[in-house]
Amino acid sequence: MQSTRHEVQYLTIHSHRRAFVKVGTGPALLLLHGLGCNHTTWEPVIDDLAKRFTVIAPDLLGHGLSDKPRADYSVGGYANGVRDLLTVLGIDKVTVVGHSFGGGVAMQFAYQFPERTERLVLVASGGLGPEVTPAIRAITTPGFHQAMGVATLPGIRHATVAGMRALSGLPLRDTRDLAEVAEIYDSFKDPAARHAIRHVVRAVVDWKGQIVTMADRAYLTQAMPMCVVWGREDRVIPVSHAGNAAALAPDARVEIIPNSGHFPHKDHPQRFAKIVTDFVRSTQPATYSRARWRQLLRTGYVPDVAAVPALAEATPGA
């Protein structure tokens, strides 16, 4: 667990302790971290965003300082958990910002609870195509838990973490994100964390890649402002998925950040905070209309997967 400059608060919901940071005033901004991370991934941008927003950054169940029970780790289950946390905090509507796996949770939250979602910001998000780094696919394989138990023994873990952090300082694209990877790897020393991450990954990834996609529901973003942010040199989820988002949701705002990897909010925090702030300022919050939602569902939309080849495998019926 990386150090945090902000007070971590706790709430027990459904008998499970959930950790979160809540700072600032103004419209609510919900920050959802990625797989194996926690709220500290947002530390570089929280203070800037908190000048204008009420920032809520939870540790998702199974991550960080939150409990790691045997529980529902599907994107739907996470969306429900986030809804319940906001309800207890007395927050009715939010702009949701989701990074990587958290982007998939953000999309699911917007789909399940459109009446509570004002805008959607996807950061190097899952759910926009099948491709994903082999390291994540490996988590689904038999023996992962046992192998990581050995790989995270103190001597091996300390040497590996130190090596990753040293390599991350090199001016190379392929080593850019290794400091963050080192933090995730270090968290696997906790058997409960390994079990939780394995359940999370198996819900969204198989040996071919991502199996959860927003392609068949992207048309619903016609009723909600959406911004997509990606690092041009992302080696975890390819930047081409930002193009998939643009093809599936033509009204989405797409921002590609040069000299950035899978964590653009950490590589260029000031630019990232400005993108989010400008997006919120320049768009009207979505206003839920059951009649409009009903009409969108009735009309439906089948994406032209020929125009988005990367989605052909992931789109049902393709």
Please identify every residue annotated as catalytic. 100, 234, 262
Q: How far is the CA of 169 from the CAs of 172, 179, 181, 299, 302, in angstroms?
A: 8, 8, 13, 51, 44
User: By the 8 A CB rule, do 53 and 16 touch?
Assistant: no
How far is the CA of 297 from the CAs of 27, 151, 291, 294, 300, in angstroms?
29, 48, 10, 5, 5
Sign of the torsion formed by the C-alpha atoms of 188, 190, 191 and 193: negative
Q: 94 with 86: CB under 8 angstroms?
A: yes
Q: List Cα–Cα distances, 136 to 117, 181, 286, in angstroms.
A: 29, 11, 34
Q: How many residues does the chain have?
A: 318
Distance CA 130, CA 134 (A): 12
